[in-house]
Amino acid sequence: MLSPESPLDQVAFTDFDAEETDVISVRRLMWLRFKRNRLALIGSVVLIIMYLAAILAGFIGPYGLRETHAKFPASPPLLPRFVDEEDNFGFRPFVYAMESKVDTKTFKRVLTPNTEVKHYVHFFARGTPYTILGFIESDIHLFHVDEPAKVFLLGTDKQGRDLFSRIFYGAQVSLTVGLVGVSMSLIFGTLIGIAGGYFGGLFDDISQRVIEVLISFPQIPLWLALAALIPPTWSSVQRFFAISIVLSLVNWGGLSRQVRGMVYALREEDYVIAARYASASNWRIIVKHLLPNTLSHILVIATISIPAMILGETALSFLGLGIQPPMTSWGLLLNQAQHTRVLIQQPWLLTPALFVVATIISFNFLGDGLRDAADPFAN
């Protein structure tokens, strides 16, 4: 043989011409890959809109969270109209005021429109006061009609509360419970995962055993069992955090295991070994080398586990084991739809489900896009 090493191998490495190769940072590459994924982009846009709407709940909904309309319990949607009784079309939406009476024979509530006065829908008009993010006070609403007319885009519940307005207040809880829960899982799972992966030994063995049981155990019965243990005397804020803890208690295992796997692999990488030879402290190695390298994957895993948490909260509240009034959430709004007879009479009560589904699908799209973007083996 002429040479043990292939000459062509050497060719490729000599005289490296830097300008011929585009050196793109990993993060930019991820962004480029993410941008190509249309579904992931749609998902992120939908989510951004959802979160904005949740923050601006008071502004978007015409009525307050606890505002009841005593004369309109279980009212079907009362929508703005463009065409009046005489079939005249106009571009300004309006509503007729409704007279609500109980039929003395059937004991059913009947709504009859008073077609004499058109109540136009005012945009950016004053109405019920509200606060945004706890400190911005205002009473300007996206749209509003003057009393005695009402506008219930999605109908009302049996206490006569506007479902449309309440859905956005519910979003505040439903959309944050996932984030709070995931953050708790993240902290807990990452600490245990990194510790287990980096130090190994007995700690690793025990945590792995616990995680194994936790992962394979079905979530819903555990959620139910744990949620049933929350004392009924707790305030609704305490309950909110308790529910987040319940959700993350059941969820941290999977995350922790993945982090551990990555740390395990990274531990053997040259630069970590080099750092160890340079007698860097464990803490320094973890913070400077392991965390940054696992961070993108941790975020991906976190995003992927958010939908399950949102669904968990929805399910618990739906069953009456989750969020309690005066707070509300999508699950709690759906709670009234749990009884079949009610649901059949008032099918609009199911509309919060559309928001749940849209959110979950969007998070799934986003999570998938992020995962593909972070995957170093994708083309």
In angstroms, rounded to a whole number, what is the distance separating the alpha carbons of residues 375 and 379? 9
282: Cβ contacts below 8 Å, ≥ 6 apart: 198, 199
Specify the residue for token string 């319990």.
73
17 binds another protein (CB under 8 A): yes
The DSSP symbol for 288 reads I
237 binds another protein (CB under 8 A): no
Helix (H, G, I), strand (E, B) or coil at 290: helix
Query: Site mask, another protein, residues 164-203, x = CB under 8 A?
Result: ----------------------------------------
Inter-helix orientation angle 236-267/163-199, to 10°: 40
Q: Which of residues 293-322 bind another protein (CB under 8 A)?
A: 307, 311, 314-315, 318-321
> Which stretches of the chain are assigned E, i.e. beta strand?
81-83, 89-102, 109-120, 122-132, 136-144
In angstroms, rounded to a whole number, what is the distance separating the alpha carbons of residues 310 and 346? 25
CB 120 within 8 A of CB 92: yes
Q: How are strands ordered across the β-sheet holding 89-102?
A: 81-83, 89-102, 109-120
Closer Cβ to another protein, 294 or 362, answer by number: 362
Which of 104, 106, 279, 379 is close enough to bind another protein by CB under 8 A? 379
Closer Cβ to another protein, 10 or 281, answer by number: 10
2 binds another protein (CB under 8 A): yes
Which of 134, 218, 292, 376 is close enough to bind another protein by CB under 8 A? 218
In angstroms, rounded to a whole number, what is the distance separating the alpha carbons of residues 225 and 230? 10
Query: Residue 195: which of 255, 278, 269, 259 has the closest Cα?
Result: 259
In angstroms, rounded to a whole number, what is the distance separating the alpha carbons of residues 374 and 196? 23
Closer Cβ to another protein, 134 or 201, answer by number: 201
23 binds another protein (CB under 8 A): no
Q: What dihedral do alpha carbons 191, 194, 197, 201 form, nearest 10°?
A: -40
CB of 377 to another protein, least distance (A): 10
Closer Cβ to another protein, 150 or 371, answer by number: 371
233 binds another protein (CB under 8 A): no
CB of 157 to another protein, least distance (A): 16
108 binds another protein (CB under 8 A): no
134 binds another protein (CB under 8 A): no
49 binds another protein (CB under 8 A): no
Q: Which of residues 315-354 bind another protein (CB under 8 A)?
A: 315, 318-321, 334, 337-338, 340-341, 343-344, 347, 350, 353
216 binds another protein (CB under 8 A): yes
Per CB under 8 A, the segment of 47-55, 94-102, 156-164, 218-226 that binds another protein is 218-226
Q: Which tokens sit at 42?
A: 């749609």
Query: Residue 204: which of 193, 194, 196 has the closest Cα?
Result: 196
CB 49 within 8 A of CB 364: no
Which of 276, 361, 372, 375 is close enough to bind another protein by CB under 8 A? 361
209 binds another protein (CB under 8 A): yes
88 binds another protein (CB under 8 A): no
In angstroms, rounded to a whole number, what is the distance separating the alpha carbons of residues 316 and 168? 19
The DSSP symbol for 152 reads B
Which of 70, 133, 202, 229 is close enough to bind another protein by CB under 8 A? 229
Per CB under 8 A, the segment of 4-12, 48-56, 98-106, 157-165 that binds another protein is 4-12
CB 95 within 8 A of CB 143: no
220 binds another protein (CB under 8 A): yes
Closer Cβ to another protein, 123 or 234, answer by number: 234
**Other C-beta atoms lying within 10 Å of the C-beta of residue 72:** 21
Binding residues for another protein, rule: CB under 8 A, are 1-4, 6-12, 14-17, 20-21, 36, 39, 209, 212-213, 216-218, 220-221, 224-225, 228-229, 231, 307, 311, 314-315, 318-321, 334, 337-338, 340-341, 343-344, 347, 350, 353, 356-358, 360-361, 364-365, 379
